[in-house]
Homo-oligomer: A and B are copies of this chain.
Amino acid sequence: MARKRSDIIADELESLIFDGTFAGGARLDEVQLATRFSVSRTPIREALQRLTISGLVEQIPRRGVFVRQPGLAELVEMFEVMAELEAVSARLAARRIAEDALDDLRSTNRRCQLAVEAQDADGYYRENERFHAIVYRQSGNTFLEQECLRLHHRLQPFRRLQLRLRGRLRQSMAEHEAIVDALEAGDGEAAAAAIRKHVAVQGEKFHYLMSTLKPAAE
């Protein structure tokens, strides 16, 4: 699907922004990127436009594109919306989730547990992502699933940050268990509440982390 050069470049640029190569506020020069990727400006521009629409960078007409630093307030808002979307997913999933999907959630959680014991943050993160993706899928609403994946992906770097907090991995694990239990019981409201809390906590932890690290960042 992503056959076009510009699409590949867009993904590359996204990774470069996520891993901090291009920090917030940095200008993305078209010709520099063109030489860097050994292509002309055309695919670069298309890639930048994609990133603009997805909200990762900001395009100021006749001025250039700059990587957008979402700002603490906006990030908290995004976590709040994520929590609500996941709550909807869980509520819908509780009504129709299949036994094999529950098994999948449980085995994913087991692998999560192993990652926690091995202090493997990356491993935990991978399994955590899988866990949530399963819930989205089990909502039975493909559009909702896509929207959840989109927002989840957008919050990825910030979510990752918050996971580094002391004891957060273990706490997150326990929350996952509660979610699976509620889903298994077919209790949509409980599942929704559990996952909403799970994500809301992420937002709060992130908020705490940022406000302590950068006391007065603009």
* Residues in A lying within 8 Å of B, measured CB to CB: 1, 3-4, 45-46, 49-50, 53-54, 61-62, 74, 77-78, 80-81, 84-85, 88, 141-144, 147
Contacts and interface: CB of A to CB of B under 8 A. Distances in A.
Nearest to A62: B3
A74 B1 CA distance: 21
Contacts of A85: 84
10 contacts: A1-B61, A3-B61, A50-B53, A53-B53, A74-B142, A77-B142, A78-B143, A81-B144, A81-B147, A84-B85
Nearest to A3: B61
Given A1-B61, A53-B53, A77 B46 contact: no
Number of copies: 2
Contacts of A141: 77, 80-81
Nearest to A42: B42
A62 B49 CA distance: 20
A193 to B, nearest CB: 13
A119 B137 CA distance: 43
A210 B141 CA distance: 19
Contacts of A45: 46
A77 B146 CA distance: 11
A74 B80 CA distance: 25
A108 B105 CA distance: 47
Nearest to A80: B141
B61 A143 contact: no
A81 B81 CA distance: 12
